[in-house]
Structure 1
Amino acid sequence: MAEALTAEAGAVRPRPPRRSSRMSTSMLPRRSALSVAVFLVPPLLLYGVAVLLPILQSLVLSFFRWDGITDMLFVGIDNYIKMFTRDDVFWIAFGNALGYLAICLVLQLGGALVVASLLTALPRAREVVKTLYLLPAIISTVAIAFLFQRIYSLDPVGLINQVLAWVGLEGLQTAWLSTVQTVLAAVSIPEGWRFTGLYMLIIYAALISVPQELEEAARLDGASWWQVFWRIRFPHIRPVWITTTIMATTFALRGFDIPYLLTGGGPGQASELLTTYMYKTAFVHTDYGYASAISVFIVVECLVAVGIILLMLRRRDDS
């Protein structure tokens, strides 16, 4: 009997550790939730104060007419009616913004993809190349603007016009920032060049994560380099490509500093963007209500652009 009781007691003893394990398991989600709150609440509060609150203030101010000094006058949606029906400069700036966006996307995404693909095949000096391409992203925008002013200059002769003279194309020399036909592309190229290295680094990190055995198997089956890229590499980096496209699109639609420093929107309105027009409406013409309406349109424009990108990619997935 004593041996049987001892055996039963021994069989029962392991139960207390199970309760402690259940207690530790039940406490883990609480600790995780607290950790998430500690790390997320401060940046979310900062984002709300620095981003969401100004957007809300601009939305409210867009329903008023205000010069910054006198009392605000409620005008309802008159600022939006003026923007869509009575302001020709707004539509010129909107068209220029779309052209600016197209040039920036081609240079940034196309250039980044090409450079990142070539970088994966580079046997050595990858770090040096990555650093050189990334440098423009950390250089001051004022320095970049002054640099390209010199590059585009006609008098004294800048780099582009000097190269044209060297190859015997003096007839193509022009003041690139003062010619209506070339100014939009001239202010777009610095912005595209500036962020190409940043997106190249992101895409390169995605490309080197592609399983090498899949590419080797495809090459053994006779696949060309294009088939390897389109069927294996690009599907693998597609989530990163979507994120990069959204980043490049929203940044380009909000581009301001380099175009404003180079031309201020001129000559005429040939390089006027929505952002430069909004700035001049607010701080030159002191029409803060109308400038707020333009800023609200820019926010909505960015949201619509992101929605279109996601919709197009979803349709492609469904097909």
Structure 2
Amino acid sequence: MIPGRSRLSVLIFLVPPLLLYGVAVLFPIVQSLFLSFFSWDGISDMEFVGLENYSRMLFGDDVFWHAFLNALGYLAICLVLQLGGALVVAGLLTSLRRGREVVKTLYLLPAVISTVAIAFLFQRIYSLEPEGLLNRVLGWVGLGDLRRAWLSDTDTVLAAVSAPEGWRFTGLYMLIIYAALLAVPKELEEAARLDGASRWQVFTRIRFPYIRPVWITTTIMAATFALRGFDIPYLLTNGGPGQSSELLTTYMYKTAFTSTDYGYASTISVFIVVECLVAVWLIVRLLGRKGDA
């Protein structure tokens, strides 16, 4: 249906980004898949081991499964903070008369700040000695008994390393959802209000169903980014204390560059790719099914 000249134009514009995507994303994935069948320390000759690395990962590595469960917890916290916070703020923005640009700028600011700066910021916030902002606020509101070293406590460290990631990208997803909410036809909302619908009914029956495709895309972005989250948890705790905040990404990194076991690290990276693909399939299947209903 596209004329020949238009097809050529589309091809010219698509080839460069597709080549870049292939070199930067697809080639490393294929290379990791290839290395996962070998034992290699990065220096000596590679030794073919077949599925031994996968067997070790699935049946003989307790740290891997601990990191996997931590990654699921990290994912859940990030999704609640990012998508929940983004939806609430975007909904409030649509009702603001003034100051929208200021609010959008303030919420988007963390997304452009260096991850190293964010890690150092939250180290100070969570600090016990010297007393950080979080412990100081707990003291001010009469909850001083809850003060602790948040990054050293095995009960709180996973939530503590997840919160900065959730805070960082809330503004980005808020802008996406806010733009989708602005596209909802006003006449539909006005007709619903004339019929006596409450704000909650307008949101659940009109607004949210209308933005569902955007919501699915945003959920996929947030989920895959969280499953691949690395920099802030690594900078804050390096997976500690013990393996309390160890994620699959940090475990893969340390396996490759500390233990120099590149074959096994590649196996973990392949699992992360498969995990992201399964997450995308589940999101599309579950949210898409509700949309069809």
- The TM-score range, normalised by the shorter chain, is over 0.9
Residue 70 (structure 1) aligned with residue 64 (structure 2): no
**Alignment RMSD (CA, Å):** 1.0
**Contact conserved, 2:209 with 2:291, CA < 8 A, in 1?**
no
Residue in 2 that maps onto 1:311 = 285
Of residues 3, 6, 10, the one that matches 1:36 is: 10
Partners of 1:201 and 1:168 in 2: CA distance:
36
Give deviations 1:248-291, integer Å, cap 9, x for gaps.
00000000000000000000000000000000000000000000
Using the aligned pairs only, state the percent identity.
Answer: 80
Give deviations 1:180-208, integer Å, cap 9, x for gaps.
00000000000000000000000000001
Give deviations 1:141-180, integer Å, cap 9, x for gaps.
0000000000000000000000111122221110000000
Partners of 2:177 and 2:90 in 1: CA distance:
6
Residue in 1 that maps onto 2:115 = 141
Of residues 174, 179, 187, the one that matches 1:205 is: 179
Letter in 2 for 1:154: L
Q: Where do residues 286-297 of structure 1 align in structure 2 (5 Å cutoff)?
A: 286-297=260-271
Residue in 2 that maps onto 1:172 = 146
5+ unaligned residues in a row in structure 1: which ranges? 1-25
In the TM superposition, what is the alpha-carbon distance from 1:314 to its structure 2 partner?
A: 3.3
In the TM superposition, what is the alpha-carbon distance from 1:315 to its structure 2 partner?
A: 2.7
**Contact conserved, 2:81 with 2:170, CA < 8 A, in 1?**
yes
When normalised by structure 1's length, the TM-score is 0.91
Taking structure 1 as reference, are residues 132 and 82 closer, same or farther at Cα in structure 2, changes over 3 Å only? same
Of residues 212, 235, 238, the one that matches 1:238 is: 212
Give deviations 1:14-46, integer Å, cap 9, x for gaps.
xxxxxxxxxxxx9x7111111101110011001
Give deviations 1:203-253, integer Å, cap 9, x for gaps.
000001111111111111100111000000001111100000000000000
Residue in 2 that maps onto 1:118 = 92
Q: Where do residues 1-319 of structure 1 align in structure 2 (5 Å cutoff)?
A: 29-319=3-293
SS of the residue 1:180 aligns to: coil
Partners of 1:166 and 1:302 in 2: CA distance:
42
Give deviations 1:124-155, integer Å, cap 9, x for gaps.
11011100100000000000000000000000
When normalised by structure 2's length, the TM-score is 0.99
**Contact conserved, 2:162 with 2:233, CA < 8 A, in 1?**
yes
SS of the residue 2:259 aligns to: coil
In the TM superposition, what is the alpha-carbon distance from 1:313 to its structure 2 partner?
A: 2.3
**Contact conserved, 2:212 with 2:291, CA < 8 A, in 1?**
no
Partners of 1:167 and 1:225 in 2: CA distance:
33
Partners of 1:278 and 1:42 in 2: CA distance:
31
Taking structure 1 as reference, are residues 107 and 91 closer, same or farther at Cα in structure 2, changes over 3 Å only? same
Corresponding residue pairs, total = 293
Partners of 1:307 and 1:285 in 2: CA distance:
33
Partners of 1:318 and 1:208 in 2: CA distance:
23
Partners of 1:266 and 1:317 in 2: CA distance:
41
SS of the residue 2:243 aligns to: coil
Give deviations 1:104-127, integer Å, cap 9, x for gaps.
000000000000000000001101
In the TM superposition, what is the alpha-carbon distance from 1:293 to its structure 2 partner?
A: 0.1
Partners of 1:30 and 1:184 in 2: CA distance:
55
